[in-house]
Amino acid sequence: MSKLLQVGMSTAGELGSSFGHIACTLGGVNYESRGSKGCLKGSAARGATNPLFKHRFHLKLTDAQAAKAKAYADSCVGEPYVLGGVPTATSGGDCSGFVSGIICKAKGMALKRLFATATWLTRFDDADMGFSKGLGPGTLDPIRPSNDFGMADRAYPGHPFNKQSPKSDHVRWIQARLNIVAKNKHGVLGGKPLDVDGEFGDDTFKVIVVFQEHRGLQGLGQVGPKTWKLLNAIR
């Protein structure tokens, strides 16, 4: 079997900007590194079908290649946007760096920058990339952003959340993610789900402590970047 790695890109001139932009869709899942939001996945990311992109390309991967690329891409989610960088699980990168890393992992190459948005159109079919024009067979419909706080990934907002945090959509997202991982049955709450109300109260604190302790973190009950990254990985 095989999966498609699909890439969408636009040049700086096409965007009326100082920089072009590029993102990809791997096996139907979007990946993008963007501005203040960093490395994104799922409906939070703009994938190859997004109308922002004027050019589209595809590469057929084996399931094993796709699995390696996906593991790498998932490990980068939540890392910051860093101009000129190729992201890893502990450092950020830009749009070209993120797509470069995904291609490298799919092809079993060492992580490196393969191109910039200014050079992609001259390099997409080189031997170390080997893409063809278009989205390929079985193309996807445009993926629309989700309003479901429990499903859409979201980038770390740059500050932790705890019992002193005000009511917010970020806390609603945290609560919905915690409900997903527990299938709406938290033992510490007597088998009940968390109320997805945006209030960081005692119940949310208790559930976060359990979530952290079960994943090798200190159970401090505060949602910082490490816990946020684990929440983003929930499926």
Mean pLDDT split into 10-residue runs, the chain, 235 residues: 88 93 92 92 88 93 93 95 95 97 97 96 94 78 39 75 92 88 90 91 96 91 92 76
Pair (173, 73) in one structural domain:
no
85 and 25 in a common domain: yes
- Residue 180's pLDDT is 82
| Whether residues 8 and 73 fall in one domain | yes
How many distinct structural domains can be found in the chain? 2
Structural domain that includes position 116? 2-133
What is the per-residue pLDDT across 205-235, written as a single tens digit (0 to 9) for each? 999 999 999 998 989 999 999 999 888 877 6
pLDDT at 139: 53
pLDDT at 179: 85
| Whether residue 122 is found in the same domain as residue 177 | no
Return the CATH number at 228. Answer: 1.10.101
Residue 73 is predicted with a pLDDT of 96
Helix (H) or strand (E) holding 5: strand 2-10
Nearest to 35 by CA among 98, 90, 118, 88: 98
Whether residue 75 sits in one domain with residue 16: yes
Among 133, 161, 177, which residue terminates a domain?
Answer: 133
Do 98 and 173 lie in one domain? The reply is no
User: Alpha carbon 163 to chain centroid distance?
Assistant: 27
Same domain? 126 vs 215: no
**Which of 111, 133, 155 corresponds to the end of one domain?**
133
Angle at 49 (CA atoms; ends 44, 53), nearest 5 degrees: 95
Task: Please indicate, yes or no, whether residues 7 and 61 belong to a single structural domain of this protein.
Answer: yes
For residue 235, the model assigns a pLDDT of: 62
Residue that has been written with the tokens 């049955």 in this structure? 185
Phi then psi for residue 134, to 5 deg, are 90, 170
CB 49 within 8 Å of CB 25: yes
Last-in-domain residue among 82, 117, 133: 133
Same domain, 8 and 99: yes
DSSP 191: S
Spatial CB neighbours of 32, under 8 Å, sequence gap ≥ 6: 23, 24, 39, 40, 45, 46, 47, 95, 98
Residue 141 lies in a domain: no
Check residue 1 and give its pLDDT.
57
- Please tell me whether residues 118 and 188 are part of one structural domain: no
DSSP 3-state of 226 = helix
